[in-house]
Amino acid sequence: MSQATDQEQMDLHAIDDSPAYRLYISPDRVRILLDCPNPHHETANLIQRVLADFKLLEIPEYPDADILSHILKSSCQPGEDLLEHTIMMGQAVSPAHNGRLEWARDFFAGGWEVDDKTGAIDFWAKCESRAVSEGELLVSLHHPIEGIPGLNVFGNEIPVTKPLKVKLRSGKNVTLVEEEGRISYQANCAGRVRYADGVVAVDDVYVIKGDVSLETGNVVHSGAVMIHGDVGAGASLEIDGDIIVKGMLEPCNIQCGGSLTVAGGIVGEENRRIDLAGDLVARYISEANLEVGGNILVGNEIAHSHIRCLGSVHVPQGRIAGGSTVALKGIQISEAGASGTSLTHLTAGLDHTLNPKLMIHKDKIIRLEEALEKIQGAFSLNHRKQNDTPENRQSQKLFKQKIHQISQAIEQESNAIVQLKDAASELAVEEIIITKELWSGTTIQLNKTKVLVRNSVLKPRIAYKKRRKVMISPLGDGNMPTD
């Protein structure tokens, strides 16, 4: 048997590569697609085949033979094949666009500048740039755009999702400017831009050139505060914006609506408390009680302190020794515990604010259920009277309305509980990374699951949860923080 020539082999190869005939509906049901070899070859037979298959698709309308002939002849050059070629089309959905915020620049960039040679973090050189000038554009709120429903090849409407709105309120020193399709927010004065809880504001800066002491008294300010010296023992600060301290904090009380940056350290005591809505940066923390809404970055050490944090806790070149630290978004430190120190408790992936929030809704449900029980009892009693009078019918109607309202309120409170739990779970990072040493006496807790470290491990370790157990494994290739 003679072998095929090179040309015959090429022809066979071309036939093998040709698409098989197929007329089908696209997955989104908006188009009728055709796959077939060269439609210019035996076009009449192909048209009859396509028309027959159109009938099998059971769509209300489709092209006739003349239109189909024109479509096929204009679809490609002679000798070319068709693959996923649109023969007929409905109307595609015009998708909705959610509302969004467009910041004029990256005011809130995270992190700090790092020395390329030494790896040292410069706590004063933050990447953020929140200083603004009067009249500067801060952010634009773009309104949502409604979508347009589509039409599939069966003549049915394809629904479109409703766009989501984004909410933003103007705070102090911010002006709104209505524009087409958006609202612009501009600074009324020079200061520091702040964004929290859906509110954008500009804080004027109050500068204290020395210490906060008996001479200055306690400080209450609606903007940001820059303190060139220390905050003395016993002082009290109530600040709506950020606080920058170039010295140190002695035992004091602080209520801060922004972030706190301390060039020196923080020294606290049992009856003093620091509450922050934003981030915290300090060289060290000792014997302090802190509630922090953002992230914590400490240069050297957190010692014998009680910290609750809704962000992450990061001590890249130091340790946490003694006390308790709770961080929703994980903990990364160089050392956990210390030789001969008191017990250290580290918790990651736990929202310390969740239970109090849940209790508010659970208490409401209890009160609503008690009210519902009373209303249902009164309704049953009224119903047993069986007095078919206009007054009784009206009373029955009011009882039913009240029962429906209370039942709806109970459902809303139950949904709120589910949403709070889901939100906390989505943010939680159940992971603790120790890059150098893990000392005995340290309790590692991930959410509500914990384990006590009984033997010191002077090597890098990572704690994570697996099958509802806390696992402590070597830290290396494949599970480094940058992986």
Among 111-115, 242-246, 308-312, where is mean pLDDT lowest? 111-115
Q: What is the pLDDT of residue 388?
A: 66
DSSP-based three-state secondary structure for 391: helix
Q: What is the pLDDT of residue 435?
A: 92
163 and 128 belong to one structural domain: yes
| pLDDT band at residue 17 using 50, 70 and 90 as cut-offs | low
Note whether residue 480 is domain-resident.
Answer: no
Q: What is the pLDDT of residue 403?
A: 86
Note whether residue 438 is domain-resident.
Answer: no
Distance of CA 227 to the CA centre of its chain: 33
DSSP letter (8 states) at residue 240: S
Final residue in a domain of this structure, among 201, 217, 233: 201
Assess contact for 441 and 453: CB atoms under 8 A. yes
82 and 162 belong to one structural domain: no
pLDDT greater than 50 at residue 8:
no
Return d(Cα 28, Cα 266) in angstroms, integer: 60
Q: How many CB atoms lie within 10 A of CB 31?
A: 20
Note whether residue 189 is domain-resident.
Answer: yes
Say which residues have a Cβ less than 8 Å from residue 287's Cβ, sequence separation at least 6.
267, 268, 269, 270, 303, 304, 305, 323
65 and 126 belong to one structural domain: no
79 and 16 belong to one structural domain: yes
Q: What is the pLDDT of residue 483?
A: 43
| Model confidence, pTM | 0.63
Note whether residue 483 is domain-resident.
Answer: no
Note whether residue 277 is domain-resident.
Answer: no
Note whether residue 124 is domain-resident.
Answer: yes
Residue 98 β-bridge partners: none
From first CA to last CA, the distance across the chain in angstroms is 61
What are the pLDDT digits (tens) for 138-175? 999 999 999 999 999 988 999 888 898 999 999 989 99
pLDDT greater than 70 at residue 252:
yes
pLDDT greater than 50 at residue 122:
yes
Note whether residue 436 is domain-resident.
Answer: no
How many domains does the chain divide into? 2
Range of the domain at 112: 100-201
Q: What is the pLDDT of residue 11?
A: 44
32 and 119 belong to one structural domain: no
DSSP-based three-state secondary structure for 33: strand
pLDDT greater than 70 at residue 310:
yes
186 and 109 belong to one structural domain: yes
pLDDT greater than 60 at residue 12:
no
How many residues are recorded in the chain?
483
Which residue is it, tokens 């060139």?
Answer: 228
What are the pLDDT digits (tens) for 28-63? 899 999 999 999 988 999 999 999 999 998 888 889
pLDDT greater than 80 at residue 480:
no
DSSP H or E segment with residue 375: helix 354-384
Assess contact for 321 and 302: CB atoms under 8 A. yes
DSSP-based three-state secondary structure for 345: strand
107 and 83 belong to one structural domain: no
Q: What is the pLDDT of residue 393?
A: 72
pLDDT greater than 50 at residue 417:
yes
Note whether residue 174 is domain-resident.
Answer: yes
| pLDDT band at residue 382 using 50, 70 and 90 as cut-offs | low
60 and 28 belong to one structural domain: yes
Distance of CA 211 to the CA centre of its chain: 39
Final residue in a domain of this structure, among 39, 69, 89: 89
196 and 122 belong to one structural domain: yes
Look at 474 and 119; give whichever has higher pLDDT: 474
Return d(Cα 322, Cα 344) in angstroms, integer: 4
Q: What is the pLDDT of residue 319?
A: 93
Return d(Cα 188, Cα 64) in angstroms, integer: 66
117 and 194 belong to one structural domain: yes
Final residue in a domain of this structure, among 139, 169, 201: 201
- Percent of the chain, pLDDT > 90? 56
DSSP state string for 64-76: -HHHHHHHHHHHS
| pLDDT band at residue 220 using 50, 70 and 90 as cut-offs | confident
| pLDDT band at residue 123 using 50, 70 and 90 as cut-offs | low
| Beta pairing class for 253-256 and 274-276 | parallel
Return d(Cα 172, Cα 195) in angstroms, integer: 11
161 and 137 belong to one structural domain: yes
Return d(Cα 426, Cα 95) in angstroms, integer: 27
Q: What residue type is 383 in one-letter code?
A: H
122 and 159 belong to one structural domain: yes
Mean pLDDT of 459-466: 91
Q: What is the pLDDT of residue 375?
A: 82
Return d(Cα 395, Cα 455) in angstroms, integer: 72
Torsion of CA 324, 325, 326, 328, to 10 degrees: -170
